[in-house]
């Protein structure tokens, strides 16, 4: 933290200390914004805030109230990195170690297969010179 950052916090308070308020806006802006809401528990500007939770809220809002959204998706908000080779896996592990990102969980292997519903046999009849 730089000195100018904690001096500003001492003067103005940190984001965690300052609640959202429309009173900071000019009166004409306050009266023009109908139904303004604040959601401090998902603010990513405050300590422990979560941009992921704001994104999940947006997804839930798009389907609300008829299409429920789970609090966490398949990856529970974890960043997902995919690798196609052991060299790339080594790069990810090395970078994670460099920045202290903690453990890297391998969720799937480096092989992909066609889904069961994919038609794998060509409907085109073979012809002279066509090799399978």
Tens of pLDDT, residue by residue over 27-85, are 999 899 888 888 888 877 766 667 778 888 888 999 999 999 888 777 777 778 889 88
List Cα–Cα distances, 81 to 60, 93, 95, in angstroms: 24, 11, 12
Q: What is the structure's pLDDT at 97?
A: 94
Alpha-carbon gap, residue 11 to 64, rounded angstroms: 41
Q: What is the structure's pLDDT at 7?
A: 54
Alpha-carbon gap, residue 59 to 69, rounded angstroms: 7
SS3 for 55-105 is HHHHHHHHHCCCCCCCCCCCCCCCCCCCCCCHHHHHHHHHHHHHHCCCCCC
Alpha-carbon gap, residue 65 to 42, rounded angstroms: 19
Q: What is the structure's pLDDT at 132?
A: 61
Entry pTM: 0.48
The answer to whether 14 touches 20, Cβ cutoff 8 Å, is no
Does residue 129 register a pLDDT over 90?
Answer: no
Q: What is the structure's pLDDT at 50?
A: 74
Does residue 104 register a pLDDT over 60?
Answer: yes
Q: What is the structure's pLDDT at 127?
A: 79
């Amino acid at each position: 933290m730089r000195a100018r950052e904690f001096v500003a916090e001492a003067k103005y308070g940190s984001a965690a200390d300052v609640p959202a308020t429309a009173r900071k806006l000019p009166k004409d802006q306050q009266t023009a914004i109908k139904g303004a809401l604040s959601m401090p528990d998902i603010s990513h500007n405050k300590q422990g805030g979560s941009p992921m939770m704001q994104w999940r809220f947006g997804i839930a809002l798009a389907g609300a109230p008829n299409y429920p959204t789970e609090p966490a998706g398949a990856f529970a908000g974890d960043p997902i990195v995919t690798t196609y080779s052991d060299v790339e896996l080594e790069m990810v592990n090395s970078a994670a170690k460099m920045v202290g990102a903690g453990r890297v969980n391998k969720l799937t292997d480096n092989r992909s297969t066609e889904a069961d519903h994919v038609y794998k046999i060509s409907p085109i009849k073979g012809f002279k010179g066509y090799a399978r």
